[in-house]
Copies of this chain bind each other. A is one copy, B any other.
Amino acid sequence: MTDLADRTGGPTPAPAPSVTAPAAPSSGHVTPVVDVAALGEQLLGRWADIRRQARTLAAHPELHKIEGMPHTEHRRRVFAQLQYLVENNAVHRAFPKSVGGEEDHGGNVAGFQELVIADPSLQIKAGVQWGLFGSAVMHLGTEEHHRKWLPGIMNLDIPGCFAMTETGHGSDVASISTTANYDADTEEFVIHTPFRAAWKDYIGNAAIDGTGAVVFAQLITKGVNHGVHAFYVDLRDPVTKDFLPGVGGEDDGVKGGLNGIDNGRLHFTHVRIPRTNLLNRYGNVDADGTYSSPIASPGRRFFTMLGTLVQGRVSLDGAAVTAAKMALTTAIRYATERRQFNASSATDEEVLLDYQRHQRRLFTRLATTYAAGFASEQLLEKFDDVFSGRTDTDEDRQDLETLAAALKPLSTWHALDTLQECREACGGAGFLIENRFGSLRADLDVYATFEGDNTVLLQLVAKRLLADYAKEFRTVNFGVLARYVVGQAAGVAIHRTGLRGVAQFVADTGQVQKAATAIKDEASQRALLTDRVQTMVAEAGTALRGVNKMPQQKGAALFNKHQDDLIEAARAHAELLQWEAFTEALGHVEDPGTRKVLTWLRDLFGLSLIEKNLSWYLMNGRLSMQRGRTVGDYINRLLVKIRPHAVDLVDAFGLGPEHLRAAVATGAEKTRQDEARDYYRTQRASGTAPVDEKILLARQARTAKPQAG
Q: Write the residues of chain A forming the contact surface with B, with a CB cutoff of 8 angstroms.
A: 1, 4-5, 7-11, 67-71, 165, 167-172, 174-175, 177, 194-198, 201-202, 218, 220, 223-227, 252-257, 259, 291, 298-299, 340-344, 347, 349-350, 354-357, 360, 416, 420, 423-424, 427-434, 437-439, 441-442, 445-446, 448-450, 453-455, 480, 483-484, 486-487, 513, 535, 539, 543, 552, 556, 560-564, 567, 611, 614-615, 618-621, 625, 628-629, 632, 636, 671-673, 675-676, 679, 690-694, 696-697
Residue of B nearest to A201 (CB): B428
Contacts A/B (CB < 8 Å), 5 sampled: A167-B672, A196-B672, A223-B691, A224-B692, A430-B449
B357 touches A563 (CB 8 A): yes
In the complex, what distance in Å separates the CA atom of A530 from the CA atom of B342? 36
A483 touches B349 (CB 8 A): yes
In the complex, what distance in Å separates the CA atom of A94 from the CA atom of B654? 54
Residue of B nearest to A626 (CB): B619
Q: Which residues of chain B are within 8 angstroms of A360 by Cβ–Cβ distance? A: 564
A170 touches B619 (CB 8 A): no
A560 touches B354 (CB 8 A): yes
Partner of A618, one of B354, B562, B625: B625
A560 touches B68 (CB 8 A): no
CB distance from A126 to the nearest CB of B (A): 19
In the complex, what distance in Å separates the CA atom of A644 from the CA atom of B480? 19
In the complex, what distance in Å separates the CA atom of A448 from the CA atom of B441? 15
Q: Which residues of chain B are within 8 angstroms of A441 by Cβ–Cβ distance? A: 256
A483 touches B341 (CB 8 A): yes
CB distance from A607 to the nearest CB of B (A): 13
Q: Which residues of chain B are within 8 angstroms of A170 by Cβ–Cβ distance? A: 340, 427-429
In the complex, what distance in Å separates the CA atom of A79 from the CA atom of B241? 39
Q: Which residues of chain B are within 8 angstroms of A446 by Cβ–Cβ distance? A: 428, 431
Given A344-B175, A357-B564, A539-B1, A618 contacting B615 (CB threshold 8 A): yes
In the complex, what distance in Å separates the CA atom of A165 from the CA atom of B450? 40
In the complex, what distance in Å separates the CA atom of A620 from the CA atom of B5? 6
Q: Which residues of chain B are within 8 angstroms of A420 by Cβ–Cβ distance? A: 416, 445
Beyond the given A355-B480, A423-B445, could you list 7 further A-B residue pairs with CB under 8 A, ordered by the A residue number? Answer: A168-B676, A223-B691, A254-B432, A254-B434, A356-B561, A420-B445, A619-B628
Shortest Cβ-Cβ A-B pairs, 8 listed: A256-B438, A8-B621, A614-B615, A68-B254, A615-B615, A254-B433, A197-B672, A225-B690
B620 touches A618 (CB 8 A): no
B223 touches A690 (CB 8 A): yes
In the complex, what distance in Å separates the CA atom of A226 from the CA atom of B438? 39
A195 touches B253 (CB 8 A): no
A195 touches B427 (CB 8 A): no
Partner of A344, one of B177, B202, B561, B671: B177
Please state the number of chain copies in the assembly.
2
Partner of A168, one of B168, B299, B343, B692: B343
Q: Which residues of chain B are within 8 angstroms of A487 by Cβ–Cβ distance? A: 340-341
In the complex, what distance in Å separates the CA atom of A609 from the CA atom of B7? 24
In the complex, what distance in Å separates the CA atom of A225 from the CA atom of B690? 6
B4 touches A197 (CB 8 A): no
Residue of B nearest to A223 (CB): B690
In the complex, what distance in Å separates the CA atom of A427 from the CA atom of B341? 43
Q: Which residues of chain B are within 8 angstroms of A696 by Cβ–Cβ distance? A: 224
Given A9-B621, A68-B253, A197-B676, A428 contacting B442 (CB threshold 8 A): no
A675 touches B299 (CB 8 A): no
A171 touches B70 (CB 8 A): no
In the complex, what distance in Å separates the CA atom of A468 from the CA atom of B89? 67
Q: Which residues of chain B are within 8 angstroms of A226 by Cβ–Cβ distance? A: 693
CB distance from A242 to the nearest CB of B (A): 24
CB distance from A489 to the nearest CB of B (A): 11
Q: Which residues of chain B are within 8 angstroms of A673 by Cβ–Cβ distance? A: 168, 197
Given A197-B675, A614-B615, A432 contacting B483 (CB threshold 8 A): no
A225 touches B691 (CB 8 A): yes
A225 touches B619 (CB 8 A): no
A9 touches B8 (CB 8 A): no
B636 touches A615 (CB 8 A): no
B691 touches A620 (CB 8 A): no
A68 touches B196 (CB 8 A): no
Q: Which residues of chain B are within 8 angstroms of A165 by Cβ–Cβ distance? A: 428
Given A194-B679, A195-B672, A619-B8, A691 contacting B224 (CB threshold 8 A): yes
A636 touches B224 (CB 8 A): no
